[in-house]
Amino acid sequence: MDWFVLIVSGLLEAVWAIALSRSEGFTKRRPTVVFGIALVASMAGLALAMLTIPTGTAYAVWVGIGAAATAGWAMVTRAERATLVRILLLAVLVAAVVGLKVVA
């Protein structure tokens, strides 16, 4: 269950990162509210997962999932170019996150 919470928290990290960008310096209300809610939920989930998952592993998985999801979303929405190298590097990042789960 803690790994599920950690994965959801990592995805929420991507949500708050995207909302932060769309808030345009907290001048737009809806993205700012989404940012705040996702940030609190993401941090709470990370804290909960850290009760049983070692801190270094939990943090690395949380950041890795958030970074991969944020970059993946940017490519899907065409905010950033999707190149073969970028996709391969994200695949390596996801593989590293899975590897941390396997050895934990």
CB atoms within 10 A of CB 49: 25
Task: State how far the alpha carbon of 2 is from the alpha carbons of 19, 20, 21, 79, in Å.
Answer: 25, 26, 29, 32
Considering the entire predicted model, what is its pTM? Answer: 0.90
Q: Is the pLDDT of residue 4 over 90?
A: yes
Two tokens, residue 8: 């959801």
CA–CA separation, 5 and 3 (whole Å): 5
Residue 101, pLDDT score: 85
The tens digit of pLDDT for each residue in 26-47 reads 999 999 999 999 999 999 999 9
Q: 74 vs 11, 13, 17, 86, CA distance in Å?
A: 14, 14, 11, 11
Looking at residues 72-94, what average pLDDT do you find? 95
Would you state the pLDDT for residue 100? 87
